[in-house]
Amino acid sequence: MSEFLYIGETAALTAAFLWGGSTLVFEHTGKKMGSFTTNLLRIMIGLILMCLVLYIQKGYIFPLQASKEQMFWLGLSGIVGLAIGDGALYVSLVIIGPRLATLLLSLAPPITVVLAWIFIDEKLGSLAIAGIILTVAGIIWVVNEKNLPEQISGSKIKGILFGILAAAGQATGVLLVKYGFQQELDALSATVLRMLPATLFLLIIALLRGRLVRIFRAVNNRQDALLIFFGSIIGPFLGVWLSIVAVKYTEAGVAATLLATVPITVIPLIIIIKKFKPSPRAILGAVLAVAGVALIFLRQ
């Protein structure tokens, strides 16, 4: 029945829209509360929700059955990908906005493929190379556009560099996850094993910088607190959950490609919510970048 209902494909596209929506929410909270505070709170809320679901499904809130190697590699993946990579993404969101920031995140799959080729000797075929070239070309074409409709808050170069750092962090995190899945482990438990160390890492950074009390005071504003909670539900929780459903019910390459359409799905959300229309060049460039990602994921 799932073949007729396209459950996996629908879940992947829904996740992409939810992630696109969460970037708009986190752009707003990032400007008001700071990108670091936004990242810490949304990971913490996502972790609590994931642990709750894990308890309902499995009867425990933390997967102690995982091996020390799995805890190490998945924990390191969470620190690199969620704490550092996503932290850089939210800085980029605040500076250059969700359209460009999510577009730069399309660099993550090409970087992942190159890192896998270098470090774990995965094959880098002609389709993957073509996909990398197409993705990079589409991004460069859009980024170099003059008279951007978005208001840049600060240095555009800084925003772009943090966007690239976000992609590199996500790519490295994905590569580290591969080591964590060398032994059998369900995806929900793996997500918790990534989120917990990322949360602890950010809490330690906040404590060392003397910002911990100020961070939790930031949620005294009820509207901001609700926005963070809403963004955490649709992004780190529902988005991740649906991505797991997508991988389960359709081919991995198809799921990954549809999940990578965030730079496209965010465009209609920006038009509806922010009331401005990106140029044809911006839309076409995003399509080209995602097409390049598709070539990478569907190369086999």
Three-class SS of residue 83?
helix
Q: How far apart are CA 224 and CA 184, in angstroms?
A: 39
Predicted pLDDT at 27? 93
pLDDT cut 70: percent of the chain above it: 97
The tokens describing 108, both together, are 């993550």
Where does the pLDDT of residue 5 fall: very low under 50, low under 70, confident under 90, or very high at 90 and above? Answer: low
Taking alpha carbons only, the member of 287, 281, 284 closest to residue 260 is 287
Least confident of 132-136, 146-150, 243-247: 146-150
Say if 278 falls within a structural domain: no
Predicted pLDDT at 92? 96
Annotate 81-124 with DSSP letters as a single string.
IIIIIHHHHHHHHHHHHHHHHHHHGGGHHHHHHHHHHHHS----
Say if 169 falls within a structural domain: yes
Predicted pLDDT at 1? 41
Say if 297 falls within a structural domain: no
Q: What is the mean pLDDT of residues 115-128?
A: 85
Q: What is the mean pLDDT of residues 80-106?
A: 94
The per-residue pLDDT for range 160-217, each reduced to its tens digit, is: 999 999 999 999 988 888 888 777 888 889 889 999 999 999 999 999 998 888 887 8
Say if 206 falls within a structural domain: yes
Helix axes 86-104, 126-143, angle to 10 degrees: 90
Say if 270 falls within a structural domain: no
Q: How far apart are CA 163 and CA 134, in angstroms?
A: 18
In this prediction the pTM is 0.90
Say yes or no to pLDDT of 4 above 60.
no
Higher-scoring residue by pLDDT: 219, 64: 64
Residue pair 295/130 in contact (Cβ under 8 Å)? The answer is: yes
Q: How far apart are CA 118 and CA 293, in angstroms?
A: 19
Q: How far apart are CA 296 and CA 85, in angstroms?
A: 21
Range of the domain at 73: 2-124+153-261
Say if 49 falls within a structural domain: yes
State whether the Cα torsion 166-12-243-253 is positive or negative: negative
Q: Which residue type is seen at 218?
A: A
Say if 107 falls within a structural domain: yes
Residue written as token pair 């190697």: 69
Predicted pLDDT at 274? 84
Q: What is the mean pLDDT of residues 9-21?
A: 92
Say if 287 falls within a structural domain: no
Q: What is the mean pLDDT of residues 103-110?
A: 93
Residues 6+ apart with CB under 8 A from 118: none
Q: What is the mean pLDDT of residues 138-142?
A: 94
Predicted pLDDT at 300? 56
Where does the pLDDT of residue 299 fall: very low under 50, low under 70, confident under 90, or very high at 90 and above? Answer: low
Say yes or no to pLDDT of 91 above 90.
yes
Q: How far apart are CA 300 and CA 298, in angstroms?
A: 6
Q: How far apart are CA 190 and CA 37, in angstroms?
A: 24
Residue written as token pair 């990534």: 194
Where does the pLDDT of residue 139 fall: very low under 50, low under 70, confident under 90, or very high at 90 and above? Answer: very high
pLDDT cut 90: percent of the chain above it: 58
Q: What's the domain count of the chain? A: 1
Residue pair 29/234 in contact (Cβ under 8 Å)? The answer is: no
Residue pair 279/239 in contact (Cβ under 8 Å)? The answer is: no
Say yes or no to pLDDT of 3 above 90.
no
